[in-house]
Structure 1
Amino acid sequence: MKVSVVICTYAMERYDVFSECVESVLAQTYEPLEVVVVVDGNDAVFDRVCEEFGDREGVVLHCNDENQGISSSRTRGAKIATGDVVAFIDDDAVAEPDWIAELARVYDETDAIAVGGHAKPDWVTEKPDFFPAEFYWLVGCDERGMGEHMEELRNTYGSNISFYREVFLSVGGYDENTGRKGDRHIQAHEAPVCIRMANRYGKGVIYNTDAVVNHRLFDYRGDFRWLVFRSFWQGYSKRIMDLLLPEAAGDKNDYLKRLMLEFVPIRVRDLVRAPSMPELKQLVAIFVFTGAVGFGYLYGLTQPRRELIGDDA
């Protein structure tokens, strides 16, 4: 079974970590493997990519004519790919050597049509003491309570997810209304494709926690104001998700209930038993981030449908 790994990039300031990402994929223990690099409308970056990787065996390079966003770029990469399975990793992540082998093992041993793995936080500097594990999803890493090993989930995160290529393309790939594009900060672009896949095939994504990528988290991802901003856009994105796929609404409600009825009471109990300033900060951050998500969602409710998803309905 051939696996194609799609890596999308766009900015010169991310080039060094992107290069490390590509090298980690080329160093995988699994074969046969193909690496598809999509540069999103930046000729200078593409020239540098060609210089470094143009002669590497098994590497396919493509540059979009203009910036089209992460969702369009990933779907383009899947169309270019020739593997039976297409896997995705963010350009600021580094894969463990057996990442693809672990993903492929699940396809070989089960009837899975999509497999994801563990997106592990890799703080470049010290992790901020106020950042609660329940909100790691804000930075594209697995949060507390995400799921158990080999559990079937709706989706894993874009830095560690794979599909049978034909399945992925048959449901239209990533929705261009979601995903980062320029100044548009729409999030959660894995969910729509996985919901469409579940609607059509009746299956979700198998979560193999042994398939690990280390998601680099730079200083700005630990900035409190940036995280509040990110939370707002997550809420706004959830409003878009409700319009695109109304059946997705239950997932966020379930997580909110678990957050407030399970995780918060546990934190309060532990804080009473053993007072700690970092634990108090994390408890406060949970409420601040939750409020920002809610505000973003309410803001989305005030926007015309055509502004949110680009149609006139």
Structure 2
Amino acid sequence: MRVSVVLCTHTLERYDAFTEAAESVLAQSHDDTELVLVSDGSTAVFERFEDDFGGRDDVVTHCNDENVGLLESRNNGAEVATGDVVAFIDDDAVADPDWVAELVEAYDHRDALAAGGKMVPEWVAGRPTFLPEEFYFLVGVTQRGFADGPGEVRNTFGSNISFRRDVFLELGGFDSEIGGRKGDENLQGGETELCARLRESYDAGVYYNPDARVAHKVFEYRTDPRWLLDRAFWQGYSKRGMEVLVPASTGEEYDFLGQLLGEFVPQRARDLVTGPSVEKAVQFLMLFVFTAAVGCGYCYGATKW
């Protein structure tokens, strides 16, 4: 089974990180892996692609005519790919050597139409001790409570998700109007919307394999409490947007909220009483702070949608 991994970027500012992502794909243990590099409208980036990776049989390069955003760039990458499966990874991520092989297992043995895996943190500037694992999704990392183990979920992170290419193209790919910042508003959820259409058209979700691991680089600015609170706010706004645009897509968020308040908060309260520490106390407090920020974003979204 041939797997095409689409990797997009639009600037040379983080080209070193991008190169590490590309090399992690080229080092996969699965033999039939193709790397599709998409420059989002930058000829300078495309020229570096050609200099660094041009001429390889396992690499395809493409340059958008103009800057169209990540989701449309991914769609363009899937169009030029030649694999049976198209997978996606971000330019600030590093794939485990067996990542593609673990995704292929879902297609070969689970008859999956889509498959994804676990995002793990690579703390570039150190782990922020105030950030509870329940809110790791704010930094693009699989959070505590996401899934008990392998099995079907609604969707995984966009930096660790894949689809049978014919299914992806039949669905029309990502809706480029969903994701990305527009003015002061940051609507997130391109993967959620696409996977809702997958469910509607094929009655199938994404097979989650936690052994298909991708590390996400968490740069220092993403550990700033103000950045995280802003991110939490727009996450809430996006939940409301998805609720309106794709009514059947938000059940997992309500399940997680119930698990957070009914299971994780009591557990953390007991741990704080039996083994008190400053870190535990701060994280316990931040559970409520981040929940409130998400709630404020949701309420703001309710005035817009």
Q: Which TM-score bucket, shorter chain as reference?
A: over 0.9
3-state secondary structure, aligned to 1:298: helix
Distance in 1 separating the partners of 2:211 and 2:302? 39
The count of corresponding residues between Structure 1 and Structure 2 is: 304
Distance in 2 separating the partners of 1:285 and 1:43? 43
Distance in 1 separating the partners of 2:191 and 2:41? 22
Distance in 2 separating the partners of 1:49 and 1:58? 13
1:28-60: CA deviation from partner (whole Å, max 9, x where unpaired)? 111212111111122222222222112222111
Q: Are the counterparts in 2 of residues 68 and 181 from structure 1 also a CA contact under 8 Å?
A: no
2:138 alignment counterpart: 138
Matched, 1:97 2:88: no
Matched, 1:205 2:194: no
Distance in 2 separating the partners of 1:7 and 1:13? 16
3-state secondary structure, aligned to 2:299: helix
1:40 is aligned with what amino acid? D
Distance in 1 separating the partners of 2:171 and 2:93? 26
1:144 is aligned with what amino acid? R
Q: Are the counterparts in 2 of residues 69 and 181 from structure 1 also a CA contact under 8 Å?
A: no
Q: How does 1:160-239 map to 2 (within 5 A)?
A: 160-181=160-181, 185-239=186-240
2:298 alignment counterpart: 297
2:54 alignment counterpart: 54
Distance in 1 separating the partners of 2:163 and 2:194? 10
3-state secondary structure, aligned to 1:197: helix
Q: How does 1:2-17 map to 2 (within 5 A)?
A: 2-17=2-17
Distance in 2 separating the partners of 1:186 and 1:43? 28
1:262 alignment counterpart: 263
Q: Structure 1 stretch 209-218 or stretch 166-175: which is displaced more?
A: 166-175
Q: Are the counterparts in 2 of residues 89 and 159 from structure 1 also a CA contact under 8 Å?
A: yes
Q: Sequence identity, in percent?
A: 54
Q: Structure 1 stretch 35-44 or stretch 112-121: which is displaced more?
A: 35-44
3-state secondary structure, aligned to 2:214: strand
2:275 alignment counterpart: 274
1:281-305: CA deviation from partner (whole Å, max 9, x where unpaired)? 11111111111111111112222x5
1:237-293: CA deviation from partner (whole Å, max 9, x where unpaired)? 112211210112322211111111111111111101111111111111111111111
Q: Give 1:182 deviation, angstroms.
A: 7.0
Q: Give 1:10 deviation, angstroms.
A: 1.4
Q: How does 1:44-83 map to 2 (within 5 A)?
A: 44-83=44-83
Q: Are the counterparts in 2 of residues 228 and 289 from structure 1 also a CA contact under 8 Å?
A: yes
1:249 is aligned with what amino acid? T
Q: Give 1:181 deviation, angstroms.
A: 4.9
Q: Are the counterparts in 1 of residues 125 and 219 from structure 2 also a CA contact under 8 Å?
A: yes
Q: Structure 2 unaligned runs (5+)?
A: none
1:188-221: CA deviation from partner (whole Å, max 9, x where unpaired)? 2211111110111111111111111111111111
Q: Structure 1 unaligned runs (5+)?
A: 306-313
Distance in 2 separating the partners of 1:286 and 1:276? 16
3-state secondary structure, aligned to 1:210: strand
Distance in 2 separating the partners of 1:299 and 1:84? 42
Distance in 2 separating the partners of 1:278 and 1:239? 32
1:18 is aligned with what amino acid? F
1:243 alignment counterpart: 244
Distance in 2 separating the partners of 1:207 and 1:146? 10
Segments of 4+ moved more than 6 angstroms: none
Q: Give 1:62 deviation, angstroms.
A: 1.1
Normalised by the length of structure 1, the TM-score is 0.93
Distance in 2 separating the partners of 1:101 and 1:62? 25
1:149 is aligned with what amino acid? G
1:159 alignment counterpart: 159
Q: Give 1:132 deviation, angstroms.
A: 0.5
Distance 1:182-1:39 versus aligned 2 partners, 3 A rule: farther
1:284 alignment counterpart: 285
Matched, 1:253 2:254: yes
Distance in 1 separating the partners of 2:9 and 2:70? 8
Q: Are the counterparts in 1 of residues 7 and 90 from structure 2 also a CA contact under 8 Å?
A: yes
